[in-house]
Amino acid sequence: MTNFEKTFSVAPMMEWTDRHCRFFHRILSRRAVLYTEMITADAVIHGDRERLLGFSPQEHPVVVQLGGAEPERMAEAARICAEWGYDAININVGCPSDRVQRGWFGAVLMKEPETVAACVRAMRKAVDIPVTVKCRIGVDEMDTDADLDRFVDMVADAGVTTFVVHARKAWLQGLSPKENREKPPLNRARVHRLKSRRPDLEIVINGELATIEDCRNELARVDGVMVGRAAYYTPWLLAQVDAGLFGETASVTSPLQAMERFLPYVEAQLEKGVPLHAVVRHTLGIFHGMPGARLYRRHISENAVKDGAGIEVLREALAMVREQLARRSAA
């Protein structure tokens, strides 16, 4: 049995986990492994690489997620991503959206483990960094332990040792991507059984983990936890990861301190011409459950989108939170 170091990661999320989001998340946790949004292999090969792949060195460890199903193109994209300095490459075998299915990749590939295996082989020839897979526990009528085992075994034979498994199947017809993250019921037991059957593989579980306690419970059974929506909507959760899961000192002691540390980055981005809202939208949930949270959200939502909005908008919003906190402690 191989003993893997336990990991915590923030899930890849389109439109959400961009470089600004990741920089912010990194302030909150040193231990979290961060993922990019899914990028298609064709976009990596033909697109604006600085815009698609650029990231700050502070973001490490950062994993790029690729979408695609054509071995040579996936290998070429992997090579480019490795050159950009990513720590690992993850293949998306979990996204059910129509757009992705038309390109014939994402969750539909669970039905074609040989294609995924061929991509993995080509990518591993092209790069030295790990090639990993994120998949579902099943898709459509392919929804038994034996189906998942067959998929995992074939892809593992091609050299993948890390599988991130979203513990719910995907319905490729009739459900939107959003519904596919909510409707089919979770089946974490299937992921646990996978780990018991293949202790030689690093198994990371994903799906509706919302608290440090949830993560701790899962880490007792599998090697890693991946958190998506909870990390985005309530990012203060991330500030509890280093101490709560790894017994290390926390990176930051309060949401206000985290925001103070984010300010220089926001200013630098503004100087580069990045709109304020594009950077600070990822912080909307940071004060969740605290005095001033609603004022903060409102001030940012209403003002950061305005033309020419500058750092003062963020400073004003933070001042509102400070004032609410002061009032609360005076009361």
Ligand X SMILES: Cc1cc2nc3c(=O)[nH]c(=O)nc-3n(C[C@H](O)[C@H](O)[C@H](O)COP(=O)(O)O)c2cc1C
Report the interface residues with ligand X, using CB under 6 A: 11-16, 37-38, 65, 92, 94-95, 134, 166, 181, 206-209, 227-230
Determine whether 21 is an active site residue: no
Contact 231, 296 (CB under 8 A): no
Backbone angles phi and psi of 153, in degrees to 5: -65, -40
Backbone angles phi and psi of 141, in degrees to 5: -80, -5
By beta-carbon proximity to ligand X, the closer residue of 14 and 142 is: 14
CB of 150 to ligand X, least distance (A): 21
The whole-angstrom separation of Cα 278 and Cα 132 is: 29
Query: What residues contact 6, with CB distance under 8 A and at least 6 apart?
Result: 219, 223, 224, 245, 246
By beta-carbon proximity to ligand X, the closer residue of 191 and 270 is: 191
Backbone angles phi and psi of 193, in degrees to 5: -65, -35
The whole-angstrom separation of Cα 27 and Cα 74 is: 32
CB of 146 to ligand X, least distance (A): 23
From 21, 81, 95, 135, active-site residue: 95
Question: For the chain, how far is it from start to end, CA to CA, in angstroms?
Answer: 56
Contact 163, 202 (CB under 8 A): yes
By beta-carbon proximity to ligand X, the closer residue of 11 and 126 is: 11
Give, as one character, the DSSP assignment of residue 307: T
CB of 207 to ligand X, least distance (A): 5
Residue nearest to ligand X (CB): 228
By beta-carbon proximity to ligand X, the closer residue of 26 and 299 is: 26
CB of 256 to ligand X, least distance (A): 26
By beta-carbon proximity to ligand X, the closer residue of 170 and 276 is: 170
Which three-class secondary structure state does DSSP give residue 139? strand
The β-bridge partners of 184 are none
CB of 188 to ligand X, least distance (A): 12
C-alpha 22: how far from chain center: 9
The whole-angstrom separation of Cα 63 and Cα 230 is: 19
By beta-carbon proximity to ligand X, the closer residue of 111 and 261 is: 111
b/e burial code for range 38-58 (CB count within 10 A of at least 16 → b): bbbbebbeeeebeebbebeee
Backbone angles phi and psi of 22, in degrees to 5: -65, -40
The whole-angstrom separation of Cα 189 and Cα 137 is: 10
Backbone angles phi and psi of 87, in degrees to 5: -85, -25
Q: Known catalytic residues?
A: 95
